[in-house]
Amino acid sequence: MAGKCPEYISNLNDYLDGGVSPELCAEIQAHLGECRNCRIMVDTLKQTVKLCRDGVEEQLPQALEEKLTGLLRKHWEKKFGRK
Amino acid sequence: MSEKELLTKAKAGDFEAFLSLVDAHKGKVYAMVRRLTQNKQDAEDIMQDTLLKAIDKIDQFRGDSSFGTWLYTIALNFARGRFAQKSQADLKPIEEYLPGLTDSGSHNHEQSALFDWRDPHKQLETEQLKKIIDEAINELPYKYREAFILRYVEELSVKEVARLTKQSDASAKSRILRARLALRDRLAKTFEDEYGRKVS
Ligand SMILES: [Zn+2]
């Protein structure tokens, strides 16, 4: 299996980026079914992305919020004048 | 009120309308900037610069993209500027971060330990995993970290990554690939070091 893998790695990249034909996609999926190394490579990416995407929104720190409120208003009034 | 209506009001000088637009997107932009910088102070500075710049440029925003995308672009430019100035890591070739990668971009499986996510005996606590992954991402040279985050965390297309980072499509694609391989190797190495869980 290791012998065929280098050939698959470059295709795996396109596969992960969604840029392969349905035929190649099926072929790669078949390969992933039988090749543990390639499967681990794909799983690692998926897990990493999943954990990165968890809580993809983050609350601004309270102190920053407070600072920004005044700062932005001042900047706004400088641009548009006081309404 | 729709984004378009809010935008019209904001452009006419309505500060509350501007704040509503910002409120809808700032949490996501902040999260992206935090990931890119891996540093709270940098992230806060960039956030502030971004919103001030958004005020300066609001009349020029034509609404071709969504307001959120526009904010991302501004924030990204500030993050890039900051790292262009100070990141020594960017000067090192990525090969230092992934010894198994050859020039052609092909990859030698045998040189790195692999971590099998499906093995129930190797399940790590999520928080622990998150920390390991954050550290691995943080170690990437900036341009690779940026490519990875934009493509996979922000889910932009390769074309969009190229446009935002002012690269050719081919070079954006290559950065994404290299970032991914470097991360994989980095993670494999961590698992090997810390958990003695080399497989294969
Ligand atoms: Zn394989």
Annotate B1-41 with DSSP letters as a single string.
--HHHHHHHHHTT-HHHHHHHHHHHHHHHHHHHHHHH--HH
What share of chain B has pLDDT > 90, as a percent?
36
Helix axes A62-80, B40-57, angle to 10 degrees: 20
Task: Please return the burial class of A58, using the count of CB atoms within 10 Å of its CB with bins 0-12, 13-18 and 19+.
Answer: middle
Q: Which residue has the higher pLDDT, B134 or B26?
A: B26
Closest CA–CA distance from residue A19 to any residue of chain B (Å): 10
| Measured CA distances, B102 to A51, B32, B96, B181 (Å) | 28, 30, 12, 11
Does the beta-carbon distance from A73 to B44 stay under 8 Å?
no
Does the beta carbon of A81 lie under 8 angstroms from any beta carbon of chain B?
yes
Say which range, A72-81, B114-123, B124-133, B183-192, has the weakest mean pLDDT: B114-123
Predicted pLDDT at B94: 64
| Position with higher pLDDT, B150 vs B191 | B150
Instruction: Quote the mean pLDDT of chain B.
Output: 81
Average pLDDT over residues A16-34: 83
Residue B86 · residue B162 · CB < 8 Å: no
Given B18, B129, B176, which is nearest A76 (Cβ)? B18
Asked whether the predicted pLDDT for residue B105 surpasses 50, the reply is no
pLDDT of res. B96: 65
Kindly tell me if the per-residue pLDDT of B109 is higher than 60. no
Per-residue confidence (pLDDT) for residue B46, from 0 to 100: 96
pLDDT at B89: 56
A45 touches chain B (CB under 8 A): yes
Distance of CA A20 to CAs A27, A56, B195, Å? 10, 28, 36
Ion ligand 1, residues whose Cβ is below 5 A away: A 5, 35, 38
pLDDT tens string A3-15: 567 667 667 777 8
Mean pLDDT across A14-22: 77
Per the CB < 8 Å rule, is A75 touching B55? yes
Measured distance CA(B57)–CA(B78) in Å, rounded: 14
Distance, CA of B121 to CA of B162 (rounded, Å): 40
Instruction: Point out the residue among B40, B109, B177 whose CB comes nearest to the CB of A13.
Output: B177
Residue B153 and residue B146: Cα distance in Å, rounded?
Answer: 10
Chain A residues with CB-CB distance to B200 below 8 A: 36-37
Q: From CA B30, how far away is CA A57, in angstroms rounded? A: 8
Tell whether the model's pLDDT for residue B124 goes beyond 70: no
- Confidence bin at B64 (pLDDT 50/70/90): confident
More confident residue, B154 or B102: B154
Q: Identify which has the larger pLDDT, B21 or B114.
A: B21
pTM over 0.80: no
Is the pLDDT higher at B92 or at B138?
Answer: B138
Indicate if the pLDDT at residue B83 is higher than 80: no
- B114: confidence class by pLDDT, cuts 50, 70, 90: low
Give the model's pLDDT for residue B9. Answer: 95
